[in-house]
């Protein structure tokens, strides 16, 4: 028998969905008596259905809309270092089969059986985002398990991001093992070199999720003039240059990101074909149109305009505007790539908004490819939020 506290579903809750793998229980599905409300965020408990039948070990946060996250459907599971090692070893085995170099997302939260936990690997260094209270509380066994399974020498904690604030967690970064790199690390993907700032950059330092879409864009870019808008550290533009683009311009509002893009171009020896332009992406798109600029390939990879359902309509209008402003810059017969990392804007809504924007620009497009995140960002079929990234490529 377990000595964990018990929490229970209301009769109206969808117990079948949870038994079939849905990993979350919302606060309005739970019996929230005084005892349950007093549980500290991150407490482990046994979840019971309305008939008091045990369903598994969950982590509880009474202060979060996602009140319970399923950790293990074995009621007697011990959530200790050995448990972390088993989950991490399973995640690592798949990545090592897929990638010949240790640069990838090692853990993609719920889809890898570690709810709220993101771990990106950069060679000998891992960056952990414990975005749920249970993982923050157990960061020591998680760190020890990660070092044991992967053999990495450095483990950093990145505490930025909206998810941690929703869980009531702090924003204090930390070095959990070894030391933080004193300079950006070079990461090779699709023949390009990216510079990852693991301590001062966005999120964990680099976005691995776009890797297959960078590769597809590189195929389109041989001999092409390429425009990469919302470029961050040069994701699409550096891949395009590696694919043989005649020229590439990276546009971003962050001088630090563009500086890293420039360093990546230098490391790859392509600075003669690479330019950057700092500024608000919408303003730069309008300015380029006024200048009469034309490109053979234009790719826009904006931040999440629709991070949640309340922001959906406004976000879809923003995606439509991106398409409307970008389409006129594409030469006849050229290609327009449009991306969304908003899980609230599911594929058909994003596709429709993009098509409207292209139409409002007076252009017509063939949709030639729909891309998603790479296999190091597995999708949990029961959880739509795990499949957030979409990339649409049109020929105009």
Rounded-to-10 torsion of CA 94, 100, 102, 107: -20
pLDDT 10s digits, 164-198: 887 888 888 999 999 999 999 999 999 999 999 99
Confidence at 384, pLDDT banded by 50, 70, 90: confident
Pairing of strands 43-48, 54-60: antiparallel
Secondary structure class of 380 (helix, strand, coil):
coil
Helix (H, G, I), strand (E, B) or coil at 149: helix
Q: pLDDT digit string (tens) for 272-303? A: 999 999 999 999 999 999 999 999 999 999 99
The closest of 285, 293, 288 to 318, measured between CA atoms, is 285
364-385: average pLDDT? 93
Q: What does the pLDDT look like over 30-73, one tens digit per residue? A: 999 899 999 999 999 999 999 999 999 999 999 888 999 999 99
pLDDT of 216: 98
pLDDT confidence tier of residue 26, bands split at 50, 70 and 90 = very high
C-alpha distances in angstroms, 65 versus 148, 163, 166, 354?
Answer: 34, 12, 9, 32
Q: How would you classify residue 265: left for phi > 0, otherwise alpha for psi between -120 and 50, otherwise beta? A: alpha
Give the separation between CA 173 and CA 293, rounded to whole angstroms: 42
Asked whether residue 1 carries a pLDDT value surpassing 60, the answer given is no
Query: Of 33-37, 95-99, 214-218, 346-350, where does mean pLDDT reach its minimum?
Result: 33-37
- 117-158 pLDDT, tens per residue? 999 999 999 999 999 999 999 999 999 999 999 999 999 999
Question: How many residues make up the chain in this entry?
Answer: 396
Predicted local distance difference test score (pLDDT) of residue 343: 87
Kindly tell me if the per-residue pLDDT of 97 is higher than 90: yes
Write down all domains in the chain, each with its CATH number in brackets.
Answer: 6-72 (2.30.130.10), 81-177 (3.30.750.80), 185-395 (3.40.50.150)
Strand, helix or coil for residue 144: helix
Question: What pLDDT was estimated at residue 169?
Answer: 86
Residue 158: count other Cβ atoms within 10 Å of its Cβ.
24
Q: Please compute, for residue 389, the number of CA atoms within 13 A of its CA located in the half-sphere on the CB side.
A: 20
Token pair, residue 2, equals 């377990």
């Amino acid at each position: 028998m377990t000595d964990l506290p018990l929490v229970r579903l209301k009769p109206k809750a969808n117990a079948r969905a949870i038994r079939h793998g849905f990993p979350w229980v919302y606060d309005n599905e739970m019996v929230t008596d005084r005892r349950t409300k007093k549980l500290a965020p991150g407490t482990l408990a046994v979840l019971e259905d309305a008939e008091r039948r045990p369903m598994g070990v969950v982590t509880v946060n009474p202060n979060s809309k996602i009140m319970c996250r399923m950790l293990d459907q074995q009621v007697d599971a011990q959530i200790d270092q050995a448990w972390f090692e088993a989950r991490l070893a399973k995640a690592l085995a798949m990545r090592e089969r897929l990638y010949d170099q240790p640069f990838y997302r090692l853990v993609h939260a719920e889809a890898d059986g570690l709810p709220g936990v993101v771990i990106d690997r950069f060679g000998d260094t891992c960056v952990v985002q414990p975005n749920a209270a249970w993982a923050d509380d157990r960061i020591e066994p998680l760190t020890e398990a990660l070092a044991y399974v992967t053999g990495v020498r450095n483990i950093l904690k990145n505490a930025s991001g909206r998810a941690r604030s929703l869980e009531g967690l702090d924003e204090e970064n930390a070095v959990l093992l070894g030391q933080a790199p004193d300079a950006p690390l070079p990461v090779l993907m699709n023949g390009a070199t990216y510079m990852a700032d693991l301590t001062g950059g966005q999120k964990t330092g680099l976005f691995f999720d776009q890797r297959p879409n960078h590769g597809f864009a590189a195929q389109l870019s041989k001999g092409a003039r390429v425009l990469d808008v919302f470029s961050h550290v040069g994701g699409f533009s550096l891949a395009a240059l590696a694919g043989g683009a005649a020229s590439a311009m990276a546009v971003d509002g962050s001088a630090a990101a563009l500086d890293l893009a420039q360093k990546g171009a230098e490391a790859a020896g392509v600075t003669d074909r690479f330019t950057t332009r700092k500024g608000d992406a919408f303003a730069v798109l309008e300015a380029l149109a006024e200048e009469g600029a034309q490109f053979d390939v234009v790719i826009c990879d904006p931040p999440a305009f629709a991070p949640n359902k309340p922001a959906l309509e406004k976000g879809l209008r923003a995606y439509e505007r991106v398409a409307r402003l970008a389409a006129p810059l594409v030469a006849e017969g050229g290609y327009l790539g449009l991306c969304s990392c908003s899980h609230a804007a599911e594929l058909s809504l994003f596709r429709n908004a993009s098509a409207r924007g292209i139409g409002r620009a007076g252009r017509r497009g063939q949709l030639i490819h729909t891309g998603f995140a790479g296999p190091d960002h597995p999708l949990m079929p029961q959880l739509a939020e795990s499949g957030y990234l979409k990339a649409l490529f049109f020929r105009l």
